[in-house]
Amino acid sequence: MSESFANQPESKADIILLAGFLGAGKTTLLKKILSWEADLSETVVLVNEFGDIGIDGALLKDSGSDVIELTSGCICCTLSADLHQSLTRIWKRFKPRRILIEASGVADPKSITTVLQDPQIGRHMQLKKIITVLEADIWGAREVFGQLFYNQLEMANLILLNKIDLMAAEKIPQFLAEIHEVIPDCQVVPTIHCEIDPETLWTQAQPKIFGLKPIQFFQPAALNGKPDSSGHHHSPEEHDSHPAKSINFVTFSFHDSRIFDEACFKKFITNLPWELFRIKGPVRFVDRLEMLNFVGGKSEWSPWEGEAETRLAFIGWKINEQETLKDLKRCLIETP
């Protein structure tokens, strides 16, 4: 972005917040949005990763826009001050026309909007729209995901019911009807690979009406004031303000330049417990690099051009990090 843009007449920047549970397709949507315009000199992208390795920022590095990463936490809780500071610095340096925020998959939009409503932020920026990407299969299992999952939907002005190509065709109208019944003031669009036309996405959002037909969710023991995996005790009030921590999400990473045995690595993924539901990053095999996008037992692979190394971010629920990494390292082979 050219810093000379800072000399232009001041007007408020539009903020588009992209939310959605882990692996729903937020980065895919963001890449599509960035492909719509040839000139992205007035657009800043802010990506929030829950782990300490930034993968999505690398995926967007060639977009033509300025990409800023916030890692090692969630912008709705532990990184809320960082979000405020980052937005302030973005405005002072660039004065952009548009800011796209890709929230962590465990972020609660209700808490993020609190930051965006701060008077200091509001003088220069305005939240134009919240778009939540919802994986179709996840809606079918919604009763086990808790209030955080529902908040991501309730706050949305636009919901993309994504990956409908992976579900039975007769389920699509059923799921659309169910979502509209629970959140009647939200636009819901079924998509494959987050394909949506720009006009639908950029249309000005209608005011939200909250508190309609709440879903009854199963609440894990961690939400009832029980100790979490680190031994700390959290009250229900603390869980409301720290949703990622409240449901015992565990995040860790792996970084190594050695080569993986491909058969062993893919067997490792196949044998993972359901509680480890997200792995993302490039993997180095003997003859190539591949980008892995693993969600809920399903793996997607694509070619990757970059440093000859493996950089993986893991997210799970009550996962033993040491045991998982021990099993992973068994698949390493020495570099030829």
pLDDT tens-digit series, residues 74-87: 545 555 678 888 89
What pLDDT digit, counting tens, does each position of 242-268 carry? 444 444 668 899 999 999 999 999 999
Instruction: Look at residue 330 in the predicted model and tell me its pLDDT.
Output: 96
Query: Does pLDDT of 2 surpass 50?
Result: no
Reduced to 3 states, what is the DSSP secondary structure of residue 246? helix
Instruction: Look at residue 289 in the predicted model and tell me its pLDDT.
Output: 96
What pLDDT digit, counting tens, does each position of 142-175 carry? 877 778 788 899 999 999 999 988 888 889 889 9
Which of these, 192, 187, 59, lies nearest to 129 by C-alpha position? Answer: 187
Instruction: Tell the burial category of 11 from Cβ atoms under 10 Å away from its Cβ (0-12, 13-18, 19+).
Output: exposed
**Radius of gyration of the chain measured on its C-alpha atoms:** 20
Query: Does pLDDT of 44 surpass 50?
Result: yes
What residue ranges do the domains of the chain occupy? 10-202, 249-333
211 versus 137: the higher-pLDDT residue is: 137
Which of these, 163, 150, 153, 171, lies nearest to 190 by C-alpha position? Answer: 163
Lowest-pLDDT range, 7-11, 116-120, 279-283?
Answer: 7-11
pTM comes to 0.66
CATH class of 10-202: alpha beta
Instruction: Look at residue 315 in the predicted model and tell me its pLDDT.
Output: 77
- What's the mean pLDDT in 117-131? 93
Mean pLDDT of the chain: 77
DSSP 8-state assignment for residue 233 = B
What pLDDT digit, counting tens, does each position of 17-38 carry? 999 987 889 989 988 988 887 6
Query: Does pLDDT of 207 surpass 60?
Result: yes
What angle do helix axes 321-329 and 262-270 make, rounded to 10 degrees? Answer: 150
Contact 176, 161 (CB under 8 A): yes
Give the sign of the dihedral formed by CA 204, CA 209, CA 210, CA 212. negative
Contact 146, 247 (CB under 8 A): yes
The angle subtended at Cα 110 by Cα 234 and Cα 237, nearest 5°, is 20
CATH class of 249-333: alpha beta
What pLDDT digit, counting tens, does each position of 316-333 carry? 777 899 999 999 999 999
- What's the mean pLDDT in 126-139? 92
Give the whole-angstrom CA distance, residue 65 versus residue 332: 36
Instruction: Tell the burial category of 117 from Cβ atoms under 10 Å away from its Cβ (0-12, 13-18, 19+).
Output: exposed
Share of the chain above pLDDT 70, in %: 73
Neighbours of 178 (CB within 10 A): 16
Pairing of strands 249-256, 310-317: antiparallel
- What's the mean pLDDT in 301-305? 91
Q: Do domains 10-202 and 249-333 have the same CATH topology?
A: no
